[in-house]
Structure 1
Amino acid sequence: MIGVKDQNDRRDSWHHGGWIGKMIIWFLLIVLMFFMPNVIVDIYGILSKFGAGLFLLVQVILLLDFTYTWNDAWVEKDEHKWYMALLAVSVGCYIAAFTLSGILFIWFNPSGQDCGLNVFFIVMTMILAFAFAVIALHPKVNGSLLPASVISVYCAYVCYTGLSSEPRDYICNGLHNKSKAVSTSTLILGLITTVLSVLYSAVRAGSSKAFLSPPSSPRAGATSPLLSPDDPEAGEKKDSEFRPVSYSYTFFHLIFALASMYSAMLLSGWTSSSDSADLIDVGWASVWVKICTEWVTAGLYIWSLLAPILMPDREFFS
């Protein structure tokens, strides 16, 4: 699908049709994997770690884009009720973020136990949430509280998923008595999040004009007909006219490929077989991946606020 810019391209029909052939190939690939040597699976596991990391990064970027778009849509209405709605949602998100952080202290810091690592993760999440608000509301930044509050809730949720992935025999994991329920709910929620992220990524791929759309795609109405509608040859030329595709097919398939890698890592515990091999998405590898995702999210959000100040000569697009 690389380089497909015209709907008259033969590969455009491959992208939209041929479902019977695609299903046959998909089935044959599944059967073929049972006969592949283990080294092939190991290589794919290594590649999937990087692919899954890229997918998590895409999720973070799309989340930031969503929060800014949401905020701008309500601010552009320039009405008192929408400003009050922004304030109400922002306060509600911050209450949810700090409430969840407080619950994490109860679940993952049992009394009488030395759980310094868990306390560090939770306190850092609360500090980041407070820092988001301070930086966003600074006069020089001229930010908004809504994106800061949404990112704070997301960071608190990621912190929870990270701590819940700790080995069930770890003394500081207060959910060890509910291992089956927690692992199942985490798996279901993770898969739902993955599906929604993939669908939203595909939608964004079709709506973006600056980054994801084919560079040669003209805007609607920008081209003029080659022949007059009354010309008898107009009907023959109509099918040969350039019809740009509405989104980047390459990005579309890339997102699905990265999502499949993320799903593989979710199901295999990031290929870590030393911790709770009988449970899904449990082990220290999963813990650190999710905690690092939280920190990367925080770093990208803070950078989105400070970049226009640190580099005033550059033009930044929302």
Structure 2
Amino acid sequence: MWTSAQAGVNVTETNMNIPKEEKVSIGNICKASCLCGSAPCLLCGCCPSSYNSTVTRLLFSFFLLLGTLVSVIMILPGMETQLRKIPGFCQGGTTIPGVENHVNCDVIVGYKSVYRMCFAMACFFFLFSAIMIRVKSSKDPRAAIQNGFWFFKFLILVGITVGAFFIPDGTFHDVWFYFGIVGSFMFILIQLILLIDFAHSWNEVWMRNAEEGNSKCWFSGLLFFTILHYALAFAAIVLFYLYYTKPDNCTEHKFFISFNLILCVIISVLSILPKVQDASPQSGLLQSSIITMYTMYVTWSAMTNNPNRECNPSLLSLVSNISTTEAMPTSSPGMVQWWDAQGIVGLVIFLFCTFYASIRSSSNAQVNRLMQTEEGKGTVGGEEVGKDGLRRVVDNEEDGVTYNYSFFHFHLLLASLYIMMTLTNWYKPDTTTQAMQSTMPAVWVKISSSWLSLGLYLWTLVAPVIFPNRDFN
């Protein structure tokens, strides 16, 4: 009789002397149990040992990335034309005598497909976020749902996606646009928290290495990357003033750039004040430099959504003789040009934060509280080998979960909304013309998120000073 632990086996044949027939039998049982078993049973024999919690997060993130890939493919230019070439598929496309075309290809490509795909992913993660509320350990029956049943989870996601494409146009896109605005605003804040966490971990590891080994080398590395980040941020500010402002126009952009520059200087100075260093020794200029660079990115991203084309030149127009109007044509139905620099950078940052959220094991208490995680609480262990010689992956959550299940799914829900807005350039659908338009609300959402993000980082600096009796270490 196979238990749930045995269902999550990572099989290797090098550690045991089992007859070939028994190996085949065990392998078949393991493959079958993966339909309902735990996450580790999906690991291949050459994969390194890992915790159950880490593999589960990676697999859910893979679902998100898979949906993102589908959205990218369906928004590519010319996709609708290619689909219409399939005989008997699209309405108004190539026909087959006696066969009526029933599929509306206008819905399954372009921004409409992105909205529906991301709607399906948001519903999928919302479902699991609701189911996993207050799961405290892997002993909870719901933890088995979190860490297993992957085949059925995939079927649920596919089913929701198919259903989403049958939603009538109506006001769906307009309403879901505002959901995307709010969700993306929240996800930008989470991105900043993850970057704070990454920066603290980076600084902590390199400082520890400097104390244990070649201190000159490690300190030089910290200094180099700190200067590099500040240099990139300063270069960005100069370019912003040159290309995104005009002497007699673009007042909002001048304010955005100047105000965020002042805020970044303030947090950089505060991070090295003696009182802050005494209360929070892990703080430093490396973290501030990363936050400064991220703030400049969000500022640039906000300015690229300004509908005033005089204040919002495309990068193509800056490096060539093409005019701004020619470089940024009005989006037509089914086509949104997301593959500009802002969209690509946004996707890269999204991928980094999603992957980091899946493998993170932070020792920074402040960031853990902000992210609603409890890293380090679970059972610590390594690779286990049973009596039968099979290598197993440790369940490190018997005493307590190592991350908040519900919040993790909520984070992926927000990530799906962020992807939707990124792939559609934060453009607002026009239900009358079926086109996409830049809007000032998207600008203010992004820029206000940068201010709130800086406020959160500022809090991680001053909180230990304001509340010295609280434990922030």
> Shorter-chain TM-score category?
0.7 to 0.9
Question: What do the CA deviations read for 1:6-65 (whole angstroms, capped 9, x no partner)?
Answer: 546554443344344333322322232244465676665554444333322211111111
The answer to whether 1:104 aligns with 2:246 is no
How far apart, CA to CA, are the structure 2 residues paired with 1:205 and 1:34?
Answer: 38
In structure 2, the residue matched to 1:188 is: 344
Query: TM-score normalised to the size of structure 1?
Result: 0.77
Equivalent position of 1:219 in the other structure: 379
Q: Which moved more, 1:172-181 or 1:113-122?
A: 172-181
Query: Partner of 1:127 in structure 2?
Result: 262
Gap change, CA 1:184 and 1:247, over 3 Å in 2: same
Q: Does 1:313 align with 2:469?
A: yes
Distance, in Å, in 2 between the alignment partners of 1:136 and 1:273 is 42
Task: Give, in angstroms, the shift of residue 286 of structure 1.
Answer: 1.9
Q: Do the aligned partners of residues 5 and 187 (structure 1) sit closer, same or farther apart at CA in structure 2, a change above 3 Å counting?
A: same
Which residue is 1:51 aligned to? 183
Q: Does 1:113 align with 2:273?
A: no
Aligned runs of 1:235-314 on 2, under 5 Å? 247-267=403-423, 272-273=428-429, 278-279=435-436, 282-314=438-470
- 1:126 shift after superposition: 2.0
Q: CA deviation at 1:154?
A: 1.0
2:203 matches 1:71: yes
Q: Is 1:29–2:178 an aligned residue pair?
A: no
- Within 1, Cα distance between the matches of 2:467 and 2:347? 39
CA drift at 1:208: 8.6
- The verdict on how the C-alpha distance between 1:171 and 1:48 changes in structure 2, with shifts beyond 3 A counting, is closer
Q: Contact 2:245–2:311 (CA<8 Å) still a contact in 1?
A: yes
Task: Name the CA shift for 1:23/1:54 in 2 (closer, same or farther; >3 Å).
Answer: same
Tell me if structure 1 keeps the 8 A contact 2:226–2:286: yes
| Aligned with 1:170 (options 301, 305, 309) | 309
Identify if the C-alpha distance between structure 1 residues 157 and 294 changes in structure 2 by more than 3 Å, giving closer, same or farther: same
**Aligned-residue CA RMSD in angstroms?**
3.6
Instruction: State the 1:191 CA deviation.
Output: 2.8
Q: Which residue of 1 aligns with 2:32?
A: none
Query: Which deviates more, 37-46 or 151-160?
Result: 37-46
Give the counterpart letter for 1:15 in structure 2.
Q
| Closer, same or farther: CA 277–157 of 1 in aligned 2, 3 Å | farther
Partners of 2:470 and 2:228 lie apart in 1 by 35
Task: List alignment gaps of at least 5 residues for structure 2.
Answer: 1-131, 278-282, 315-323, 330-335, 387-397
Quote the offset at 1:163 in angstroms: 0.9
Contact 1:48 1:261 in 2 (8 A): yes
* In 1: Cα distance, 2:259 partner to 2:174 partner: 35
Give the number of the structure whose alpha-carbon radius of gyration is greater.
2
Distance of 2:163 and 2:235 partners within structure 1: 49
Whether 2:290 is the aligned partner of 1:179: answer no
Deviates further, 297-306 or 258-267: 258-267
Secondary structure of 2:406's aligned partner: helix
Q: SS in structure 1 opposite 2:339? A: helix
1:215 Cα shift? 9.9
- Pick the structure with more helix per residue: 1
Segments of 5+ residues of structure 1 without an aligned counterpart are: 222-228, 230-241
Partner-residue secondary structure (3-state), 2:360: helix
Letter in 1 for 2:266: A
- Structure 1 residue identity aligned to 2:312: N
Amino acid at match of 2:313: G
Q: Could you tell me how far apart the structure 2 residues matched to 1:128 and 1:293 are?
A: 13
Q: Is the 8 A contact 2:427 2:439 kept in 1?
A: no
Give distance in 1, aligned partners of 2:363 and 2:266: 32
Where 1:184 maps in the other structure, the secondary structure is coil
Amino acid at match of 1:87: L
Residues 300, 7 of structure 1: alpha-carbon distance in 2 compared, 3 angstrom cutoff: closer
- Cα pair distance change 1:6/1:130, threshold 3 Å: closer
> Does the 8 A contact of 1:166 with 1:173 survive in 2?
yes
Q: Which amino acid aligns with 2:256?
A: F
Residue 97 of structure 1 aligns with an amino acid whose one-letter code is A
The offset of 1:158, in angstroms, is: 1.2
Residue aligning to 1:82: 218
Change (3 A) 1:250 1:208: farther
- Distance 1:3-1:299 versus aligned 2 partners, 3 A rule: closer
Post-superposition Cα deviations, 1:124-162, rounded to whole Å, max 9, x if no partner, equal 222223222221222222242111111111111111111
Q: What residue number does 1:161 align with?
A: 301
**Contact 1:206–1:213 (CA<8 Å) still a contact in 2?**
no
